[in-house]
Structure 1
Amino acid sequence: MTNNAKIISINDLKSNDPSYLETIFSIANGHLGVRASNPVNISDTAGTIVNGFFEISEIVYGEKAFGYAKNNQTIVKLPDLRQIKICDGQQNVFHRSELKAESLDMNNGVLVSTYKLTNDLGKSVELTVKSALQQANNQVIGLRYEIKPIDYTGRIKIVKHLKAISDGEETDDPRKSRTVHTLTYEKHDVNSKSEIVKITTQISKMYLEMAIYTPAALEQKFELTDGKTINFDVIGLVGEINEPVEFTDMPTFEEVIKGSSEFWEEFWKNSEIKITGDDSLNQAIHYNLFQLTSSTGRDGKTNIPAKGLSGTGYEGHYFWDTEMYMSPFFAYTNPQIAQKLIKYRYSILEASKKRARELGVAKGALFAWRTINGQEASAYYPAGTAQYHIDADIAYAIDRYYKVTDDKQFLENYGFEIVLETARFWKNFGSFSEIHGKRKFCFFDVTGPDEYTAIVNNNYYTNRMAKFNMGFAVDLIDEFPEKARELGVTDQERNELANISESVYLPYDQIKGINQQDDSAFEKPIWPFDTTPKDNYPLLLHYHPLMIYRYQVNKQADTLLADFLFDDLSKEQYLREYDYYEKITTHDSSLSRSIFSAIAARIDLKTKAYDYFMDTVKTDLVDLQKNTADGLHVANLGGSWLTVVNGFGGLQVKDGLLTIDNHLPDEWKKLTLRLQYLGRLLQITYTNKTTQIEVLTGASIKIRVDGTVKMIQA
């Protein structure tokens, strides 16, 4: 174990699988990501990934119906910026490679990889590759190749060019990406020091330019002698989509490192978490926050791919994961990024209105379940489009951002319209029905977060979120009356939304004393867990969906997720619900364990909280889901922060006050975290006996701490 919590090395990992290591040591800056590939051995899994750069292919259905998603959107894997060729004086290539050491320093964002390279004559040299990405100017990567002799001295030739990436294997695994065959490459040799490759997608009609530049030449010869190290620096450029790259004011490698260091220093100042009592967990949470931030689009045009920019799994699509699992971290630590994520949703609002009409809803917007450009790309609607709750998830994220920042101007200019259009969707999508002798507003044929229970009536999570969404819209109509009139809101519409919000049906089982996942949930038999082989998980890869749907079995937290978000149950009901739903949940989704951990912490199920957190925080570092090679589980990275801060730290905004309840695990001596709230930078320190809060910047503030309202002095 490395001593510094912000450094992770190959020695900290149990697996040496090359594709897995490519993912773990990948680096990114929200615009581009580079997998930590072996620079001299070509790999099908290596390459560069650009957020939002995708190709289209037609979705082929055996039987197609009106309104089905039309096209796949698949993120494109681009030339590997790390690749290099090294020869001796007789042109013998050093092509056999052994990884000797690798480490990622999260203090400055620098990845260092060291290899032993051997040619066919059995002679070897040592190659160290240092890589860093600019974070402010997000088009720039700096690469330094350092070559030392092992048992070879003499002439060395280095050749650096951009080469097209090879196609990977086709797969039926829905978690992986399909292969893209419709790219064209056009190379422009500017001069001996630089070259540009233009990559064009044939169907989506997008292009992107990649370039490399070196101060000397792309092909150089050196004399390698004992005790000498050869340095070969390369600056890579990855342009914005549909914009040319320009070789102006090219930074040196040292300047790239300096810029990266400054970004991460500022980041940790606002986002630091320190766990005292378990060094491995401390390292893991730092890794998760580093990679989560690296993965996140920050331009208002892009979002967070399900695998970040560490791999092409899930085709680079954006899901509800952003709002429920990832944007909470940014709202509380880097609100400017949370704002950009909302702006992305605003940029696809018109496409979402069109999608609502395709689904037969006359007014409002329905955001695509999985998408890059705003159009629905989910070919399986029962576990895709039917998850209408994404509308309310986005509204909830806007509410969270508003409560944490009090950014009225942004809310009025961007957030309000999204909240209103999603509320209008619910109003026109649902209908009144008589339930238990009362007139209630219901939502039929929906799918909640649990994708093992599809097309049901009155999913509790969906109904609860829709109720919130419409109520929030009413609050904003009252707060911003002029903007409401500008958006066409009438008094009648306002009152209808208020009435419907109050009338939404929330399923509850009187006998069990718990919220019921949906109208039919408790009528189904429980999945035969005792006779299900361990190798048959995840269930979705071994059983037909219709078989899974007819049982009580959950892929992930569903009703419990609503309980976590609203936190308004008695402890007794919390315990009953937790006990019931835990027994039927497989955690086949990486999103699940963080919620189970956070709730367990809140209701003092300490052992469960800690065990689930151990799996959550190390999901990728131990390859818990067995598919980290395809890319990081980025939503789970955010989920681990939720567990620490909202679970163990008990942090919420309630009744207009920041509320903190100490649930520190017995295994930890201390937890220290930093966050931003209403313009203040706060530091909160938990021990098993005390909770201390400091205002590091900003004015004094009232906070409810362990049940008591206190004025925290600046």
Structure 2
Amino acid sequence: MGLLNLGLLTLASFATCQFTDISLEPTIFESTILPQHENGTLLPRYFASVGNGHISTTVNTDTVYLNGLYNGERGESHRARIPSRNNIRAYPPTDEGSVTERLFGLNVAEGFFYEKYNVKGYTVEHRTFAHRYFTRVIMSMFLLKATASADPAGVTIAFESNPGDPSADITFQPEMPFESNHTLGAVSQCGETRIREDVNYPQSTGVCVVHDTLPISVTLTPSSNLTLYYLASYDFTLEEAGSDFNDALKYAFDDGGGDLFVLHSAAWRSVWTDGKIEVDGNLELSKIINGCLYYILSALPVSTVPNIVQRQFYGLSPGGLAYGDYLMDYQGHSFWDTETWMFPSILYLYPRAAEQMLNYRLSVIAAARDLANQTGYAGARYPWEGAVTGREVTPDCCVDTRELQIHITADIAYAVRQYIATTRDMNWLRQTKPGYIANGCTMIREMAEFYTTRAEFNTTTRLHDINGVMPPDEDNRPVNNNPYTNIGAGYSIFFAKYAECLCAGDMTQVPQAWVDLASSIKLLYDEELDYHPEFEGYVLGTPIKQADVALIGFPQQYEMAASTRRNDLTIYENATRPDGPAMTWAMHTIGFLDLNDVTKAAELFDKSFRNYIREPFKVWTEAQPPTLGAINFITGMGGFLQGVISGYGGYRLHPEKIVFQRPRVPPNSEELRIKGLDYLSNSFDLTVRNTSFTLTMVRSNINFPLNVEHDGVIYPFQENGVSLGFGTTQFTSVSMYTIRQTNCPLPLDKIGTPLP
């Protein structure tokens, strides 16, 4: 997250936006009204969004965003607003009392938003969805049907499209007729963004929209049973936008009348088959988990269908793909949020989508190299805020942030380390993709090299200091020797040495001097109080913004005594300012579960989501009232999901094994199922009950046969359908691994040893 989010909401503007989700289904969020003020003014920032990683829109608004389309130079770069051709409403007659049974809902299992009502015995349902198969298309679908009580006189439904004001970001040409064999009256419109992010780096600036002609109205009679489609397709060129527009219509009308909604729904269900989390006995928690996964997946190009266009992905922003306007919601930029908070849960369940997240960083390594060089260092230094070109785009409001938050490069390196541990993807490591200038091996080495030149040798202590940084605790800066930053730097270098062996000649040698430097990076530790000070000179009780030192216990998993871990958690829980972001409490939840303090963990788990969710569509805000910050805050969702998977699921990923550290059922729940966990191309399920947990192999991989070890006993875990059960005693810990494929020494992962 950035130091400052310029798109703030206050409690006053939030008003009475507290609505009830009335659905009893875990994948449906439903209400009789849309979020609005007491005076009836709508609050569209709390509406649901639909997306597929290529395009996204907040329903019933006049804006569509396209992944990778930005306008504005450097710090003013933001997602370019495309006027929406999908802001459509179906209006019934205005007769007082004629409309009944009105519902608004988000179905996350099938990825669509709906509005339903009954008017004079006719049912009207309007579905909006970003198609998961024809991914350039956002579709409005109208289901119009007479019931047994239909008014014999019929009823007229009027349609209205409101694309809003012309875009301030894009100069569009006039609309032109679009020739299509499948519809009459289709039009296209193309334009160019006004300002490039940085002329020194490549950037797509064109955008085209192809859309259908909306009927003015439809008159229903007692025999009516109609399904109407309205399509709008968005992409960088007319050829691309027109292709999906025509292909979708061809599927609907020429190929035996294929149902476009069924095709979309099947694609979403395929995604959920790949990975999902289920909770029995706690409907509220189940809904929250489903909402978190839905909103993150809506911003990712994750799919199992074969026709998905493999285009460059440009990262996850704290507000997802449905937000990112100028001076709002971090303008669609990517931060450490991507790799630290959102990446892990996606990696565990959808590793191919995780690869796309890393490919974004790999694709912009030229800008990272330039940033390192421009600031006086070697290797690759990733910017605090990145967008389409990969250059630094943090606004001028936050100079300290962009200059001092160097831990983001280590966060990216750690994500790469986790990806390789999960997939052992040698192609990603060793092969340079078409259009790229580096492979994973090169990227890993250059991130490590940056830290070897950023660290400063202290001749008195014989240790390396990393001075003048802003840590995750953005309230205190600049500071020296922040433990999270220093451990991350050391991990980056240790991982590079490990990767050198994996890369087998495809990486320039990592000198032993780098490893020695990493081992000698300073780690602050107060022996008297048995804790890690936040920075050099930290005074106990000084307020901090968010989880920082707590992160060295998890996700960094730095080895320490249980007493030290407890003191770190307790000291910084009391020091964290109350309006900090949700992720802090998810990490504290994991920490206290590690310490077997289930009561404290449950308290903090509740705190990690309770005050951050806006009903009825499970939209997250960055902070709690009175200041709510960025929306829809998928960073907080990512942290919360880690609390579920790595906290209550006990999932711990290491370089060459997984450890399940006493899985538990979440509070007020009966059973937890994490389905579709992926490890070395094996897919398995974890089922957790109050007194036991079970691992079930769903899809095994003969290239990486797995074993499970518990209390010194090794169990083969290599056949589809095999289940292994264990009791949830206090000391239950289960390891999963494969026969080692290499003799590469594992990363050392210990810092703080003075040089001779």
Partners of 2:188 and 2:101 lie apart in 1 by 30
- Of 9, 26, 31, 1:5 maps to 26
Match of 2:66?
A: 50
CA deviation after TM superposition for structure 1 residue 471, in Å: 0.8
Q: What is the one-letter code of the residue matched to 2:563?
A: E
2-structure distance, mates of 1:78, 1:23:
20
Write the mapping of 1:102-117 to structure 2, written as runs, cut at 5 A: 102-114=104-116
Superimposed CA distance per residue, residues 164-194 of structure 1 (whole angstroms, 9 cap, x where no aligned partner) = 4468xxxxxxxxxxxx456445322337521
Note if contact 1:186-1:199 (Cα within 8 Å) is conserved in structure 2: no
Q: 2:452, 2:517 within 8 Å by CA — same for their partners in 1?
A: yes
Q: Deviations over 1:268-325 (max 9, x none)?
A: 2221211122111011101111111111256443111210123222111111111111
What residue is the counterpart of 1:189 in the other structure?
Answer: 177
From 495, 500, 519, give the equivalent of 2:517: 500
Query: How many Å separate the matches in 2 of 1:553 and 1:241?
Result: 50
- TM-superposed deviation, 1:113: 1.3
Range that drifts further, 6-15 or 585-594: 6-15
Tell me the equivalent position of 1:61.
none
The answer (yes or no) to whether the contact 1:7–1:106 under 8 Å persists in 2 is: yes
Residue pairs, 1:227-238, within 5 angstroms: 228=224, 231-238=227-234
SS in 2 for 1:209: strand
Pick one of 427, 430, 447 that aligns with 2:455. 430
Q: Secondary structure at the match of 2:69?
A: strand
Choose the corresponding residue for 2:469, options 442, 446, 449.
446
Shift in alpha-carbon separation, 1:590–1:267, aligned structure 2, 3 A: same
Q: Mean Cα displacement is larger for which, 23-32 or 611-620? A: 611-620
2:169, 2:193 within 8 Å by CA — same for their partners in 1?
no
1:52 aligned counterpart, secondary structure: coil
Shifted more, 124-133 versus 583-592: the winner is 124-133
Q: 1:706 to 1:343 in 2, by over 3 A?
A: farther
* Equivalences for residues 232-271 of structure 1 within 5 A: 232-240=228-236, 244-246=240-242, 247-251=245-249, 255-271=259-275
2:392 matches 1:376: yes
Task: Select the residue among 554, 558, 561 that pairs with 2:548.
Answer: 558
Structure 1 residue 336: Cα displacement: 0.9
Name 2:289's counterpart in structure 1.
285
**Does the 8 Å CA contact 2:115/2:125 hold for their aligned counterparts?**
yes
**Amino acid paired to 1:381:** V
Whether contact under 8 Å (1:270, 1:676) holds in the other structure is no
Question: Is 1:433–1:439's contact at 8 Å kept on the other side of the alignment?
Answer: yes
Q: CA separation of 1:248/1:283 partners in 2, compared to 1, >3 Å: closer, same or farther?
A: same
- The correspondence for 2:595, drawn from 603, 606, 623, is 603
- CA drift of 1:15 comes to 7.2
Corresponding residue of 2:308: none
CA pair 469-398 structure 1, distance change in 2 beyond 3 A: same
- Counterpart in the other structure of 2:661: 661
1:466 corresponding residue in structure 2? 489
Alignment of 1:360 onto 2:360: no
Residues 1:583 and 2:574 are matched in the alignment: yes
Task: Give matches, 1:265-414, under 5 Å.
Answer: 265-297=269-301, 299-312=311-324, 313-361=329-377, 363-373=378-388, 374-378=390-394, 379=396, 380-413=398-431, 414=439
Give a deviation string over 1:183-230, Cα, whole Å, max 9, x none: 4453223375211122421112712111212xxx53355333357455
Match of 1:207 in 2: 206
Judged with a 3 Å threshold, the aligned counterparts in structure 2 of structure 1 residues 82 and 498 are, in CA distance, closer, same or farther, namely same
Contact 1:514 1:573 survives alignment (8 Å): yes
The answer to whether the Cα contact below 8 Å between 1:53 and 1:241 also exists between their aligned partners in 2 is no
- Gap runs ≥5 in structure 1: 38-42, 58-69, 118-122, 168-179, 527-551
- Deviations, residues 131-160 of structure 1 (Å, cap 9, x unaligned): 222223310222113457998956847556
Indicate whether 1:145 and 2:142 are aligned.
yes
d(CA) in 2 for partners of 1:265, 1:708: 38
Displacement of 1:242 after TM fit?
Answer: 8.3
Q: Does 1:133 align with 2:130?
A: yes
Native 8 Å contact 2:206 2:236 kept in 1 = no
Q: List per-residue Cα deviations over 1:315-372 (Å, max 9, x = no partner).
A: 11111111111111222111111111111101100011111122121x1111111121
- Comparing 685-694 with 131-140, which one deviates more in the overlay? 131-140
Separation in 2, partners of 1:97, 1:517 = 59
d(CA) in 1 for partners of 2:194, 2:99: 36
Change (3 A) 1:212 1:518: same
Under a length normalisation based on structure 1, what TM-score does the superposition of the two structures give? 0.81
- What RMSD over aligned residues (CA atoms) do the two structures have, in Å? 3.3
Identity %: 20
Listed as ranges, the gaps of 5+ residues in structure 2 are: 1-21, 197-203, 253-257, 303-310, 432-438, 720-756
Instruction: Please identify which structure carries the higher helix content.
Output: 1
Secondary structure at the aligned position of 1:521 is classed as: coil
Give the AA of the match of 2:296.
Answer: L
- Any idea what SS the aligned residue of 2:246 has? coil
Q: Measured at CA, do residues 649 and 704 of structure 1 come closer, stay the same or move farther in structure 2, by a change above 3 Å?
A: farther
